[in-house]
Amino acid sequence: MHYLLSAKLRRSILSTFIILLSFNSFAQNTAPQSTQTQPAATTQPAQTAPAQKVDPAQISNQQAVDFYKQAKTSGMSDMDIERAALQKGYTLDQISAMRKRLLNPDKNAKEVKNPNREALDETREQNERDTESNNEKDSTNSQKATVRKENRTFGASFFSTSANSFEPNLRIATPRNYILGPEDELVVDIYGNYVDNFKMKISPEGTVKMLNLAPVYVNGMTIEQATERIVSRLRQAYSSLNRPGSGTYLSLTLGNVRSISVLITGEAARPGTYTVSSLATAFNALSVSGGPNENGSYRNIEIIRNNKILKKIDLYHFLVDADLKDNIALQDQDIILIRPYDSRIELKGEFKRQGIFEAKSGEKFMDLVRYAGGFTPEAYTSLFTYQRNTGTNYIIGSIDSTQMLTFTPRNGDIFTVRKILDAVSNQVEVRGAVTIPGNYALEERCNTVLKLISLAQGLSQRAFLNRAILERVSGDTQTGIIAIDLRKLINKEINDIPLQPGDILTIKSIEDLKEFTYLSISGSVINPGNYYYYKDITIADLIFQAGGYTEGGVPYRIEVSRRIKNDTLDLPSTQNVRIFTMEVTDKLALNSEDQKFKLFPYDIITVRKSPRYESQKLVTILGEVKYPGKYTIVSNFERITDLFPKAGGLKPEAYLRGAKFYRNQELVAVDLDAITRKPTLPANLLLLNGDTLMIPRQSETVRIQGAVQNPSLVNFDSEFSFEEYISQAGGYAEQAWKNRIYVSYPNGRTHRMKRFLFFKSYPTVEPGSTIIIPQKAINQHEKTPGERVALYSFLLSSVSTLTLLFISLNNK
């Protein structure tokens, strides 16, 4: 059997640890070490490094117990330890923090139980699981049984939450019914004409001793009873104590409380003996033990004192109604016995709180509904189904709402409340051409077709009156249709039609029964596109809807393209459309002539643009001209050479042979020097919108790139030959394709090398040119020069050998 820390030990652990840490012998270690003490008579303090201050939260309980024992062995009292701790700089908050941690039942309460209990519990649980598994293999409801085994018992989650410790509050005023016992501390405060204050601890014999007076027996008394006895004894020293008008009074309060031992047994999650505060209640102890286990009752928990049942606890009073009448204070050697449950019923479906609920004998289904918080708003409460275990199989039963107060559930029953259907039983609907379509209640003022139309604020102006449809679900679950002549019904030429639940009245509009008709307009209007067709609409009306003419649009030569339907007179057999050319007033003013020509559905109208209207076309000339910038193309016949007079002519440094002409941001190869000398050349292109001409200065460099040893940018020298430029780049590379050499000029033109027989003609190199030597494609199977020499040597050697062999054979 293990024992737990006493109240005195728990109150002193933190202070002891703090003091001992201040000594060098306990600065960093958990085990004691040899130390050297200073003589008591030394007046000068020892010059030692200050002890490290350790956070109490980092100290284990066993370390604190060891330090406490060593401190007591050295002769220090609890008061000395606390006083020294305060002098060392530790606060009351730190002391309270350690005390609270030690008093936390979840972390520090130690159980007195059979060491083999855990193994026995595990064996029992395993046997139960094996038995259930075997039974469920042959059951058609094995899946349901597995779900029921989940711990969803009402109240289990309360004890499974670590935050619900129900730790007793040690800072409250002393309860009026608190019974004093050994190890309790009493604080006496005398005030008035005389002032005194002292503490007394109740001895194991149940007495307290004060001043030099005889002991007073207070064991088993309340604070009020103990106060009367202590005042009576203290009147031997203070004769007028607590007498009216005396001016001297006494106040007795409870200081540190004692610890008591409580045994928790039966179907507890963690049965055993627990040491708790004397202020602890039944709920405190149950919380420490984890509450009832999976077989424990939440409604039959007994408090046994002196072998008699003192109280029977029903936790549902607290869990459902927050009633604490069963939360009585505990005394030393009390026993809490958790009985096995008698009956549990599962509630599923549309309950506010689903789960497994424990039922007492005689409780009805309505009591369980109250424990579950009632039904959800969507619950179907006319009929409830339940599943019951008969001992051999499951059966299904049902009860109605009138049996809720009288039906008694049995152990293992599963009640299911279903959700109501997503349908309205007294609803009718009207759709289509009424003022306010929608759902309406089937009642006296809305129980016929005419009343429904009236309640929907009548028919719309475009309602189709020749026919309406009433959809109705017949008895064979098929939807039927009732055709109604609305015109005759409104005129009361036929009888009104009564409505039934679920009826849907559909009234079409005239537009609903027509194909969607539209007109198309394109060309020089602001918003071209498709527009609704209206009766008697004209071309001017449609142009008005399209936002009017754009700039450049003309009101004449408007073309109307029309489909042919029946009017095929005077049309050749190959023609399937009619074309009309119309003229409309410029300002879209109303005109009797315009009203004569009506548009038909699906007509296509095209508004033309003025033949000479167009946006300005701009070209750009940059570089070495006097007035570079953008210029407008005046006519459609302007050419490149026409730009120079507009730009004020060329500057002296302009280099025409290097001029670049761009169209749509692409370089067009044009020899500007040639076309300025002869404007009639085809290269003198017509100008288009967006063209750009760039006149550069003469470049003084030539670029050599491609298959050369050192691609370079070299200076232009008119004395250099083509081969000399190649030499400037280090000569040809091994893979140079010498027959494909070409020169790219600044104006975009390109000239390549020409060859006739053994004669080569290289292109002229000009300033700013680029000499490009292509590279041959690398053939992986091509032999290197060394490999070719070796191959030729081998062939020649072979031929020589064969020749000599042939001559030798002929000589024989």
Region 517-528 average pLDDT = 93
Which of 300, 312, 311, 310 is CA-nearest to residue 268? 300
Tell me what pLDDT residue 161 has: 64
| Pick from 38-47, 262-271, 345-354, 591-600: least confident | 38-47
State the pLDDT confidence band at 28, using cuts at 50, 70 and 90.
very low
Is the pLDDT reported for residue 123 higher than 60?
A: no
Torsion of CA 187, 331, 174, 207, to 10 degrees: -20
Please tell me which residue, 147 or 363, carries the higher pLDDT value: 363
Contact 16, 64 (CB under 8 A): yes
Continuous segment of H or E residues that includes residue 439: strand 438-441
Give the phi and the psi of residue 587 in degrees, each rounded to 5. -100, 15
Is the pLDDT reported for residue 19 higher than 50?
A: no
* Buried b or exposed e, range 60-79, using 16+ CB within 10 angstroms: ebebbbbbbebbeeeebebe
Contact 641, 679 (CB under 8 A): yes
Region 119-124 average pLDDT = 43
For 496, residues 6+ apart whose C-beta sits below 8 A from its C-beta are 448, 449, 450, 451, 489
Contact 652, 622 (CB under 8 A): no
Q: Residue 362: helix, strand or coil by DSSP?
A: coil
Please tell me which residue, 733 or 9, carries the higher pLDDT value: 733
pLDDT digits (tens, 9 = 90+) for 555-579: 888 999 998 877 777 778 788 888 8
One-letter amino acid for residue 199 of the chain = K
Is the pLDDT reported for residue 392 higher than 80?
A: yes
Contact 334, 342 (CB under 8 A): no
Burial class (CB in 10 A: 0-12, 13-18, 19+), 322: exposed
**Helices 92-102 and 7-22, packing angle to 10 deg:** 130
Region 738-760 average pLDDT = 86
Contact 319, 353 (CB under 8 A): no
* Buried b or exposed e, range 747-784, using 16+ CB within 10 angstroms: bbeebebeeeeeeeebbebbbbbbbbbbeeeeeeeeee
Region 156-174 average pLDDT = 65
State the pLDDT confidence band at 194, using cuts at 50, 70 and 90.
confident
Q: How many CB atoms lie within 10 A of CB 210?
A: 18
For 423, residues 6+ apart whose C-beta sits below 8 A from its C-beta are none
Contact 726, 699 (CB under 8 A): no
Is the pLDDT reported for residue 22 higher than 60?
A: no
The whole-angstrom separation of Cα 330 and Cα 277 is 9
The whole-angstrom separation of Cα 173 and Cα 155 is 30
Which of 650, 638, 649, 647 is CA-nearest to residue 679? 638
**Helices 92-102 and 61-73, packing angle to 10 deg:** 120
Tell me what pLDDT residue 181 has: 87
Continuous segment of H or E residues that includes residue 83: helix 78-87
Is the pLDDT reported for residue 585 higher than 80?
A: no
State the pLDDT confidence band at 480, using cuts at 50, 70 and 90.
confident
The whole-angstrom separation of Cα 198 and Cα 177 is 24
For 77, residues 6+ apart whose C-beta sits below 8 A from its C-beta are none
Contact 674, 643 (CB under 8 A): no
pLDDT digits (tens, 9 = 90+) for 417-462: 999 887 788 899 999 999 999 999 999 999 999 999 999 999 999 8
pLDDT digits (tens, 9 = 90+) for 601-640: 999 999 999 888 888 999 999 999 999 999 999 998 999 9
Token digits of residue 403? 């049996």
77-82: list long-range contacts, CB under 8 Å, 24+ apart: 78/8, 78/11, 78/12, 78/15, 81/12, 81/15, 81/16, 81/19, 82/12, 82/15
Q: How many CB atoms lie within 10 A of CB 489?
A: 19
State the pLDDT confidence band at 405, using cuts at 50, 70 and 90.
very high
For 314, residues 6+ apart whose C-beta sits below 8 A from its C-beta are 298, 299, 300, 301, 326, 360
Token digits of residue 526? 């602001």
Contact 35, 74 (CB under 8 A): no
Region 396-405 average pLDDT = 93
Is the pLDDT reported for residue 712 higher than 70?
A: yes
Region 739-748 average pLDDT = 90
Burial class (CB in 10 A: 0-12, 13-18, 19+), 659: buried
The whole-angstrom separation of Cα 678 and Cα 246 is 140
Give the phi and the psi of residue 268 in degrees, each rounded to 5. -95, 155
Q: What is the mean pLDDT of the chain?
A: 81
Relative to beta strand 196-201, strand 185-192 is antiparallel
Percent of the chain with pLDDT over 70: 78
Contact 233, 241 (CB under 8 A): no
Contact 486, 466 (CB under 8 A): yes
Task: Give me the residue label for tokens 């016992």.
Answer: 181
Is the pLDDT reported for residue 34 higher than 50?
A: no
The whole-angstrom separation of Cα 85 and Cα 79 is 10
Contact 472, 461 (CB under 8 A): no
The whole-angstrom separation of Cα 753 and Cα 742 is 6
